[in-house]
Amino acid sequence: MLPVITTERLRLRPLSRADLDDFHEYCKVKGVGESAGWIHHSSLAESRFVLNRLLSATTQSIFALELRASGKMIGTIGIKDILGVGSVFRPLFGFEIGYVLSKDYWGQGLMPEAVGKVLRYCFAVLNAKALYLDIFEGNDRSMGVAKKLGFAFIGKDVEPTKFASGTFLVNHFMLSRDEWSRNKQGVV
């Protein structure tokens, strides 16, 4: 079970069924999911289906990001078990991090603030040796988050997507625990 973690502006706590309305509010906006590999939602029923699927996933744990000032849920951070440890893009035991923020709150440094704390949780509590981020080519905002937190680019390859094009160029980023300990970037 994920803990509750607080940052200056956010409260991170386990995602729940009660988040449906706030979840739908940002998942229906075009351009949010498309940056992360999924198509924006076209109905509340679709958001309910996706939320239920996320909540029943056995290979990932998901934090909901709640604004401390209002209690509104404005995004998520997922910690995903990785398969194929030892492969070229996954050399060490660890987790893949995925994040999404409501478009209304982009550009305020909220995601680096939240992910910084999640890094510490993964390294110090879950004992990860490394964390990984996969970012689509052209997603400069997410690349900005990766760089702020000290992730290093380790290579790119082509992966399947749900979009008509069928594939996308993906940039692989990694942060090792050793590197994180040296820099303690993103840790407040």
Ligand X SMILES: CC(C)(COP(=O)(O)OP(=O)(O)OC[C@H]1O[C@@H](n2cnc3c(N)ncnc32)[C@H](O)[C@@H]1OP(=O)(O)O)[C@@H](O)C(=O)NCCC(=O)NCCS
What is each CA distance from 132 to 17, 78, 87, in whole angstroms? 27, 12, 12
Q: Nearest residue to ligand X, using CB?
A: 144
Contact between 171 and ligand X (CB under 6 A)? no
Determine the interface stretch with ligand X among 13-21, 38-46, 88-96, 137-145 (rule: CB under 6 A): 137-145
| Per CB under 6 A, 107 contacts ligand X | yes
74 binds ligand X (CB under 6 A): no
Binding mask 22-61 for ligand X (x = CB under 6 A): ----------x--xx-------------------------
Q: Pick the closer one to ligand X by CB: 75 or 123.
A: 75
The span from the CA of 170 to the CA of 159, in Å, is 7
- Please compute, for residue 83, the number of CA atoms within 13 A of its CA located in the half-sphere on the CB side: 2
Which residues neighbour 2 within 8 Å (Cβ) at sequence distance 6 or greater? 12, 13, 14, 61, 62, 63
| Angstrom distance (rounded) from CA 152 to CA 172 | 8
Q: According to the binding rule CB under 6 A, does residue 14 interact with ligand X?
A: no
For the chain, report the end-to-end CA distance as a whole number of angstroms.
23
151 makes contact with ligand X (CB under 6 A)? no
Nearer CB in complex with ligand X: 100/119: 100
The residues facing 97 across adjacent strands are: 79
Q: Does residue 119 belong to the site contacting ligand X (CB under 6 A)?
A: no
Count of residues interacting with ligand X (CB under 6 A) = 21
Task: Please state the closest distance from residue 130 (CB atom) to ligand X, in A.
Answer: 17
Q: Which residues bind ligand X (CB under 6 A)?
A: 32, 35-36, 99-101, 106-112, 135, 139-142, 144-145, 148
